[in-house]
Structure 1
Amino acid sequence: MEMIIEAQGLQKDFRIAKRRPGLFGGLRSVVDPEVRMVSAVRDLSLQVQCGEMIGLVGPNGAGKSTTIKMLTGILTPSSGEVRVAGLVPIRQRRELTSRIGVVFGQRTQLWWDLPLIDSLRLLRHLYRIPEARHRENLKQLRAMLDLDEFIDTPVRQLSLGQRMRGDLTAALLHEPELLYLDEPTIGLDVVAKARIREFLLSLNTQRGTTVLITTHDMDDIETLCPRMVIIDHGCKLYDGTVKDIQARFGGERILVAVLDAAEMARMATLSRSEDGLPVLPDLPEGVRLIKLDGPQLELGFRREAIPAHELISWLGACYALRDVTFQEPDIEDVIRRIYEKNLLLGDIGVAV
């Protein structure tokens, strides 16, 4: 498939000036400061296919926003090569603007004191969108994002969720091929987050828009992004599917079984462990009973200890079951484990 983002060996260094102490503890020198170089992004390579939804994940200061700014042409890379939609961002920024959309969660491109509709009309002239095309796109986005209830309200009076929907509309009026979202759900309540996620999935499915998201909200990643890139201290640690990293670093899975009513009497006859849970006879190695709550039984197990289908077979042979489901490890816990254990590039294995 065609690549919309191609970055190779991206590096971004910043010069940090620190004033030196003066003589006898006096004034610090501003004439001869101490200068050191800090690498915000180091040797980062990234390829994104048209139509992908990809999450860029990392702690504060990892280099996520710096990467986005190099991909949009706001910052010039110190070294490396990058092309977006076939264009070099820093040299062809004007042409690139018409092919990308950008939303920064803590900033807005709307006019603060104007009604939202006026901002959206002004953007037609900034992007030089033909009137008929602008009218049709605005009609579709008003419906998809349910803007009519507040479209005549000044932007400064909008709630955070309403403003974010307005910013998404502003970024998509010119039908960009690629949408960058930097913390798009930051500060939003649960309902507003769900609405934004539903819209982004619809946008990707119906229009084929490529979406690159940087976020601290792991629910965004699990809901929206089949692929995830983890960076830390400017370096890429992982590039692959969310499912793969859950499988390799997710720790325990949980099997939730609903027992038949007849099995409850049997459970009452079993001996109990120190924590009050029944001791299940012949429990496979690597499997532990987490909870028994009424007819619901929860078993924790690791993938390497026993395959899921074997555990289900054992459970079905021993107990009468009404239902069986699985709970996967939370991706936020997975990422936390990676950082806490200081896993390196070689430990995770970067998928290129």
Structure 2
Amino acid sequence: MPRLAASLVLSTTPLATQVELVRRLEAGGFDRVFFGEAWREPVVPMAAALLGTSTVGVGSAISQIYPVHPVVVAQQAAQLDELAPGRFSLGLGLGASFVVERWFGVPYDRPLRRAREFADVVRGVLASPEEGPFTYSGELFSVTRYRLPFAETAVRVPVHLAAVGPAMQTLAGEVADGVVVGALHSERTMEQTLARLGRGAARRGRTLDDLTIWYYLACCVSTDPDRARAMARRSLVYLAQYPHYRAVYAEEGFAAEAETIAQLVRQKEMDRAEREVTDEMIGRFAIAGTVAECRDQLRRYAGYPGVPVLHLIPFRMDEAEVQESFRLATELAR
């Protein structure tokens, strides 16, 4: 069995319940639990999880870089590391263009430049207690003589970039400690990802061995295998809303299905959209079934680089079912 991580993207579930779920995942042998910035901002849940556990890693996957300034994000990262030294990791990502522009009122422009400069500023601020006041003059961000006031030494927080497209993956290999690969992939796309990461790493005199790779994997565990596949199908419908994931579906031979699903979602025809998700798509992109079935399905990823991040998006499903799926998932690593 590969090492395992989990991603919690919950909305109505109380924070206390989420922390208890993280404790269960910790006891179940999971390496890390990620919190995504979707229906909740991630900093408060991550702080609660770090204070409520003792060994499991906790990280953001991802924190969106458009609505905030990197100095603030570096401050948050340093304080989270202060709560639990060595257990926090910072995952940064672009988010979806329509979310950035609709929710935050920020133009989705120059994403690669923004990601590069954002990572530069975060690293500079975290290093400032040892290297001195940090000054940066970029095309998008500028900082003048800033030093973290509450840290005596440099803060060693791993910085990961979420990367789906080729250019972003190459950038991650160049400037980040690791990469958070998107939720849709195959052996072929992972080979492409490794090649791009390697090219980026070479620009800094590094190799793939210097990078940590996390890849997301839709997963639903249930005592009812039919229900598990139905819930996994809903996660795959959710992903089809995003242009970058539709591109991956297309690369893997599901272009027509993905376009039809996305169109039906826009028309609010959710039941019809779910019926367009084929068994082949579930088998290719998801883990779904009983504990025993999911354990068997996970074995096909034993040769994958990096660590799978099990996730289940609470899209048109009761969050109690999502919680139960993760509780059952704690048996997978045993």
Which of 1 and 2 has greater Rg? 1
TM-score (norm 2): 0.30
TM-score (norm 1): 0.29
Q: Which has the higher helix share?
A: 2
